[in-house]
Amino acid sequence: MNLVGVQISKQLTQKLTRKPKMPSVIKNPVFTNRVPSVHSVPSVRSKNCTTVPESENPFKLLKWKPKVLKKIPYFLFRYRLFIIILCAMVCLFLFFTKTAKTGMLRRIQRVHCNEKRGVFICNSKYSTGTMIISVSLACRRYIYEINGVPFVRINDFYKTIRIPATANLVIRDARPGCKLSVHRTTSTCALQPYSGIVWITTKKHSQFTMTIDGVQVLEETPVDLIDSKINGEWVAYMFNPEIPLVMPDVQIRGDSSDPIYVYI
């Protein structure tokens, strides 16, 4: 009886000291709330199945989805700044190439002019190239100056007048009813080289007296002794003092009251 009582007491002590089993809970990833470790570093799996720390991951700042990143090559992100600059340079090169080809084309544009008090005034946006002036012979005989240049220094004045283009073109002189047309072309031209002094006046003068910087170089000199060219009512006289002049003080006096226009 004592043995039976000892065995029963041992079984009771074992049952009392045994820990109760906790019921098992089904783990659902939706409801699990795991707190990552402080020392853990997220990683990204590369192509060769090796993990790369997030600090070295070039995609950690991108907000695109991983599915999109997988479709775009890696080098496009790594060299994206260089690729953008290269594309911009190519676009600029193509733009300037097209502009240069267009600029080489020879063009002719119409320039509109207005007649005011015997003077033709033409305004345009062109300051390069050549101005081509077409005028009838009846009106040409009244012109003695274009943009401050006397007619004897203009190329082909008696054919088609060509002078360097300017934004403001002034043609002197004109008469009511005279018609002329002005065009601008992209080709260039140059004025005739000259030296000396030119003055233009009417045929009423028969002699001239000229003073340069206080020195009298012509004294009542007949017009037959002076080189000249005629255009209608105007006569251009030319005299070369054979000494280089820099802004000289030139005084010319004739024997008529008609005005004298001096060009140096």
Would the pLDDT of 143 be above 60? yes
* 65-79, 92-106, 176-190, range with greatest mean pLDDT: 176-190
* 55-59, 97-101, 159-163, 217-221, range with greatest mean pLDDT: 217-221
pTM: 0.58
Encode pLDDT of 223-237 as tens digits.
Answer: 999 999 999 989 999
Gap between the Cα atoms of 146 and 64, Å rounded: 70
Share of the chain above pLDDT 90, in %: 30
Would the pLDDT of 135 be above 60? yes
Banded model confidence at residue 99, pLDDT cuts 50, 70, 90: low
Average pLDDT over residues 18-38: 50
- Helix residue ranges, H only, the chain: 2-17, 66-71, 74-78, 80-104, 137-140
Would the pLDDT of 98 be above 90? no
Predicted local distance difference test score (pLDDT) of residue 60 = 52
Strand pairing of 149-150 and 145-146? antiparallel
Banded model confidence at residue 199, pLDDT cuts 50, 70, 90: very high
Banded model confidence at residue 30, pLDDT cuts 50, 70, 90: very low
Question: What are the DSSP calls for 203-251, one per residue?
Answer: TT--EEEEEETTEEEEEEEEGGGSEEEEETTEEEEEE--SS--SS--EE
